[in-house]
Amino acid sequence: MGSVVLVTGVSRYLGGLLARRLSADPSVDRVVGVDVIPPAKDVGDVEFVRADIRNPMIGRVIESSGVDTVVHMNVIATPTFVGGRTPQKEINVIGTMQLLAACQKSSTVRRLVVKSSAAVYGSTPRDPAMFTEDMSAKRTPSGGFGKDSIEVEGYVRGYARRRPDTEILTLRFANIIGPRIRTSITDYFNLPLIPAPLGFDARMQFVHEDDAISALVLATTGDATGVVNLAGDGVVTVLQAASIVGRPVVWLPLSAAGFVGGLARRMGLADFSPDQMSFLAFGRGLDTGRMRSVLGFEPTFSSRGAFEDFARTVGPAVPAAAIVGDAVSGVAGTATSAVLRTLGTGRGH
């Protein structure tokens, strides 16, 4: 049976790709894409509707189009991409509340897919080697995208209680990476010098952007429900990642790393919250058993393979012999000053 799918955030990179892929899927009759601005790139046969999910009019869009499947892609990870932390939180939290309220009132919506994040698990030294979907954060993220994602999932659980007739699938993605997507983690590894917390070499998992889209298509057109982690096999440490992109590392105490992260954010070089800096210190691992058993998805790229595909697009590093020499001569003051001088010299893309 065909379906009418509504995709939020269709003017963003992943939302636009997903909408285009769904519009070419024979099991989908129509795709309606909503966002506050038109897509900058071709999205195929998608019917674009200019609408703000923070506005109750999203309910009229759902009803008038006869939407039976909603894919919520408009949870924003990077505040600078939408003008700052305040609009980010409004889109993520208020937007989700309004979208779910519209779905609850709808007589046609039967399936809801939510793109969430592994950021809900946080990052602490007390974390398990691998988080299963039934585990929660040892320390709740203090703010930013991680906190927003926890609130979004809370609203989704509330919606599930009010509308038990709706099939609901929440996908918790590891960091999505690839040659075309831009995120805070790709900005970080494009810096000419990688500031890393002293004494740590965090384990990271990645999902290739192509795998992310394929998983979302399967989630939209399939019948899996519940909460599912998504990540490529294996891990990549911060040091390994820096080596793959050919960038020197400067070691900083974790407290100084937070300061440098804030500086990079203010300079528009990379966007890092305190929780993201904790991730770079302690890392995070996801158990992906449900990805295979419930969703029936097998990634094409491992975590390392996904990162290596991204690394192909990273430009040559700025000559850094003097930088490294200065950085290793001290831990806090001198190393920090080296980072302050070099973060603004180039970004590699």
For residue range 100-153, list pLDDT tens digits in order. Answer: 999 999 999 999 999 999 999 999 999 999 999 999 998 888 777 788 889 999
Residue 245: pLDDT above 50?
A: yes
| Cβ count near 287 (within 10 Å) | 16
Residue 26: pLDDT above 60?
A: yes
DSSP structural state of residue 345: G
Rounded Cα distance between 279 and 124, Å, is 8
- Rounded mean pLDDT of 232-243? 97
pLDDT band, very low/low/confident/very high, at 1 (cuts 50, 70, 90): very low
317 or 233: whose pLDDT is higher?
233
In words, the CATH class of domain 4-182+205-233+285-301 is alpha beta
What are the extents of the domains in the chain?
4-182+205-233+285-301
51-82 CB burial, b ≥16 within 10 A, e <16: bbbbeeebbebbeebbbbbbbbbbbbbbbebb
Model confidence pLDDT, tens digit, residues 100-114: 999 999 999 999 999
Model confidence pLDDT, tens digit, residues 46-86: 999 999 898 899 999 999 999 999 999 988 776 666 666 67
Q: What is the pLDDT of residue 329?
A: 41
Q: What is the pLDDT of residue 261?
A: 64
**Token reading at 144:** 């930013």
Using alpha carbons, list the distances in angstroms from residue 115 to 44, 163, 213, 228, 258: 22, 19, 11, 10, 28
Residue 349: pLDDT above 50?
A: no
